[in-house]
Structure 1
Amino acid sequence: MQESLVRLIDFFGFAWWVKVKTDSPRCTYYFGPFLSRQEAESEKPGYLEDLQLEGAQGIAVLIKRCKPTKLTVYDDLAESPTKSLEVSVL
């Protein structure tokens, strides 16, 4: 029942998410969705610990209501896991 409620509030953009930005690698991560700010707050330490163990540096955290379209956003093309480059020919 709770999972259905979380999906519903997420659909309308009212779910809580943990947004984590890192300087190295230059990424933005979204963790969630959560029913309440308190639930997101209680899960936050685990996400931060995982990123620190992976070597992430310059970590900034924000808990907010949003509806992310991607859970991981790479800020630098050079750090993208696919490292692809799109070329247009005119």
Structure 2
Amino acid sequence: MWLSLLEWLGLAWWVEIDTSDCTYFFGPFSSQKEALEAQPGYIEDLEQEGASGIQTNAQRMRQPTQLTIEKTPVNVIDNRYSALR
């Protein structure tokens, strides 16, 4: 119930892990300590999957609309727009 209240208020803690290919959000957690304690396990899993350029951040926020956000390669061009613009 406490965690639900924190989520509703946007005060729950989330671990954001940014890699060269994706940004991942893990949570929610009721405290920064809890989020930071969980972080190494997530990093280990991503390293085993071959992730590189890993950067982490624990922050208070509302639940992200997406838990995994894939990055668009800079050289990918669709029919109308270039990511280089």
Equivalent of 1:8 in 5, 8, 24 = 5
Equivalent of 1:27 in 17, 22, 27 = 22
Can you give the 5+ residue segments of structure 2 that lack an aligned partner in the other structure?
81-85
Task: Report the residue type matching 1:7 in the other structure.
Answer: S
Q: Return the alpha-carbon distance in structure 1 between the equivalents of residues 14 and 32 of structure 2.
A: 8
String of CA shifts for 1:15-69, please: whole Å, max 9, x gaps: 000000001xx21100000000000010000000000000000000000011211
1:1-90 to structure 2, matched below 5 A, reads 4-23=1-20, 26-67=21-62, 68-76=64-72
Moved over 6 A (4+): none
Partner secondary structure for residue 48 of structure 1: helix
Task: Report the residue type matching 2:72 in the other structure.
Answer: D
Report the TM-score when normalising by structure 1.
Answer: 0.76
Between the two proteins, the alignment pairs up a number of residues equal to 74
Q: Return the alpha-carbon distance in structure 2 between the equivalents of residues 52 and 7 of structure 1.
A: 31
Report the TM-score when normalising by structure 2.
Answer: 0.80
Q: CA deviation at 1:74?
A: 1.0
Q: Return the alpha-carbon distance in structure 1 between the equivalents of residues 26 and 72 of structure 2.
A: 20
Partner secondary structure for residue 42 of structure 2: helix
